[in-house]
Amino acid sequence: MVKLRLVHRCTECGAGHPKWAGRCPACGAWNSLVEEVDGPDEFATLAAGMALVPAGVAKPIGEIDANSATPCPTGIGELDRVLGGGFVPGSVTLLGGEPGIGKSTLLLQLLAGWAGRTLYVSAEESAQQVRLRAERLDAVRPDLWLLPETSLPNILAAIDELKPQLVVVDSIQTVADPDLSSAPGSVVQVRGCAHRLVQEAKRRTVSMVLVGHVTKDGGLAGPRVLEHLVDTVLSFEGERHHALRLLRASKHRFGPTNELGLFEMADAGLLPVPDPSQLFLADRRTGVPGSAVVPTIEGQRPLLVEVQALTNTSTSGVPPRRSAQGVDPGRLAMLLAVLERRARILVATHEVYASVVGGVKLTEPGVDLALCLAVVSAMTNRPLAADLVVCGEVGLAGELRQVAQTQRRLSEAARLGFGRAIVPASSPDSGAGIRVTRVSTLAEALSAAGLIGEAPTGPMP
């Protein structure tokens, strides 16, 4: 008789522990342990796959054929931008995102546009459901094959028979190997199946995309346990109630990871967003206090984004509330401290709410100055000029530091009709058709923007 043993497995790192704990002892993640039956055979699937892989042969590096790693364009420009050209044959990509964000839609569009034979393994939805969606997306093509299947051996058999160039498995969390005793969706199953699919993709030089749902409650093994197995990790983000979707690579073995792909969810599927700045500024109201426009850079692409702030005098005795959406709350706290100490703006008694319009997350320091100006504009109830953009990093001493690619940022602002910019004094010459004011401190920037009178000198008493 097989003796079953319970383990508590971490959905973040995959480590198994005999006892439950609030925090995984291996990786330190909180609330990530789930109860699982520990099978004796987690590696049986891997061993079966290993037996098929030919032994590696060492060669001088000059004799290695680099051309086999040339990406094939996908036909979806925004996806190619993020992938650095397309899919490399034999590579495995993990596409993560919350349920309902549009992963299946994007992949069906991808397969429909691919020049060779493709296979869509639907492990979640019935063939009818996928067919209906394909009709809506105009993706009913003779070269697109559909397999509603959750069993790993059957999926591999279908790949053997059809010999597709590109395979999508939607989703990896619902695929299971009957040889493993753990339940479908468990860490052991997800990791075992993904490992086996990666081996098969390499062996046959088939490109593969695995879909992984990101769930916050840890009920399903998250894509995190798969990240080191695959070549590329893409995440599809956005707010479900907004049409905008952002595609980013957090790991990419064949190119850079800083490019951003932008899509809009429409009735006929995902459409590329060729002019994102226009989209982000579409609903902007000028002449309102608490709003600043910043030209940021995402990868190679300049983006104009509106940053907003709202402040309220706090009457309760407790520390006033601070809330940040789309920017790091720690960064906001630091900027408020710099405003107080270096520019003598008394924010300590104010509640501060800051947000980036359009559901984007801004992580680059170039947004610092815009955040500070938006906060002070809200506090003083003075709007910034409608045609003004600002960018720059704010240091702890209240000094402004230049950020990369000022010229491209300012040309994008000029293209969209902005006529004035406030930038750090050390920024290189812009040459763009925009009037540039150079300032060296945060206080000078506040003064140049007309929010305060003369910039105060010296530190606070």
Residues at the contact surface with ligand TYD, assessed by CB under 6 A: 97, 99-105, 133, 136-137, 265, 267-269
Q: Please, which residue, 82 or 372, has the CB nearer to ligand TYD?
A: 82
Q: What contacts 461, CB < 8 A, 6 or more positions away?
A: none
Q: Please, which residue, 99 or 256, has the CB nearer to ligand TYD?
A: 99
- By a kind-dependent CB cut-off of 5 to 8 A, residue 385 interacts, out of ligand TYD, Mg ion, none, with none
Q: Smallest distance, Å, CB 147 to ligand TYD?
A: 17
Tell me the residue number closest to Mg ion, measured at CB: 104
- By a kind-dependent CB cut-off of 5 to 8 A, residue 97 interacts, out of Mg ion, ligand TYD, none, with ligand TYD
Q: Smallest distance, Å, CB 460 to ligand TYD?
A: 50
Q: Smallest distance, Å, CB 99 to ligand TYD?
A: 4
Q: Please, which residue, 172 or 327, has the CB nearer to Mg ion?
A: 172
Strand runs labelled E in 256-396: 260-266, 269-272, 291-298, 301-313, 322-325, 350-356, 388-390, 393-394
Q: Smallest distance, Å, CB 105 to Mg ion?
A: 8
- By a kind-dependent CB cut-off of 5 to 8 A, residue 74 interacts, out of Mg ion, ligand TYD, none, with none
Q: Smallest distance, Å, CB 145 to Mg ion?
A: 18
Residues that bind Mg ion (CB under 5 A): 104
CA 148 to CA 31: how far, in whole Å?
Answer: 33
Give the helix ranges, DSSP H, for 259-367. 276-280, 329-342
Q: Please, which residue, 133 or 322, has the CB nearer to ligand TYD?
A: 133
- By a kind-dependent CB cut-off of 5 to 8 A, residue 102 interacts, out of Mg ion, ligand TYD, none, with ligand TYD
Q: Please, which residue, 104 or 165, has the CB nearer to Mg ion?
A: 104
Q: What contacts 90, CB < 8 A, 6 or more positions away?
A: 68, 201, 202, 204, 205, 206, 207
Q: Which two tokens stand for residue 34?
A: 């789930």
Q: Please, which residue, 99 or 116, has the CB nearer to ligand TYD?
A: 99
DSSP category for residue 450: T
CA pseudo-torsion sign 182, 187, 188, 190: positive
Residue type (1 letter), 122: S
CA 61 to CA 76: how far, in whole Å?
Answer: 33
CA 239 to CA 97: how far, in whole Å?
Answer: 11
Q: Smallest distance, Å, CB 211 to Mg ion?
A: 7
CA dihedral in degrees (119, 125, 180, 30; nearest 10)? 110
